[in-house]
Amino acid sequence: MNQTPRGLNRLLLAVIGLVLLATGVLALGLAAFPGLAGWWRRTTQGAGTAVENLLAATTLPGQRDSWLWIVLALLMLLVVLAMITWIAQQGKGRAGTLAADDVDDGGPGMVSLSGAAAEQALKAALAEREDILHVTVATYEYRGTPGLKVRVLPRKGVAPQDLAEDISAQVEALDLVLGRRIPVVVSIGASARSRLGRGDRVH
């Protein structure tokens, strides 16, 4: 549960993939079929003349080169900035505040609950268990709603449904403490330590 723009990722990956695919097909075709060379020469000849004319038309008197180069440079700068923004969107969504009392009841001040309070309470409760090797709890915001993401790495052979049941109980206890129900996502996974470590333990 984070704010990675998944639709945008798919869209941009598809566009970039298609462009690369088309370039590859073109290069492969030119290498494999010598008959295509004539068509390619004619097409690029036409495009080249058009670009030359455009460059000549946009060259200011007294200047050696067209001002289109500056436009191209600005365009490239924009694309680079867009790519940096795209990278920055990945995995975004960590939040600090879990809940805030935004009801204006006329009284001074407001109450806000830090995500760390719930994170540490849940983490401490789960870390005591023998069958769990590692717990991470983090607060994320998804569609404007803050929620908790719990990642649990249990020991090998632990029944996931029993673990889920116990975690549900802990989360319900947390609900009582916090006074409101927040979205919780629990992910039970395997780690290198649980893969290599001893699985058998008598409870």
Please report, as residue ranges, which positions from 93 to 152 form the binding site for another protein (by CB under 8 A): 142-143, 145, 147
Rounded least distance, CB 108 to another protein, Å: 31
Among 50, 53, 54, 65, binds another protein (CB under 8 A): 65
Rounded least distance, CB 128 to another protein, Å: 19
Rounded alpha-carbon distances, angstroms, from residue 15 to 21, 22, 147, 182: 10, 11, 33, 37
Identify which of residues 98 and 158 has a Cβ nearer to another protein in the complex: 158
Please report, as residue ranges, which positions from 141 to 170 form the binding site for another protein (by CB under 8 A): 142-143, 145, 147, 154, 156-161, 164-165, 167-169
Give the H/E segment covering residue 164: helix 160-178
For the chain, first and last CA: distance in Å?
33
d(CA 137, CA 123): 6
Please report, as residue ranges, which positions from 69 to 98 form the binding site for another protein (by CB under 8 A): 69-70, 72-73, 76-77, 79-80, 83-84, 86-87, 90-91
Q: What is the dihedral of CA 48, 54, 55, 60, to 10 degrees?
A: 170
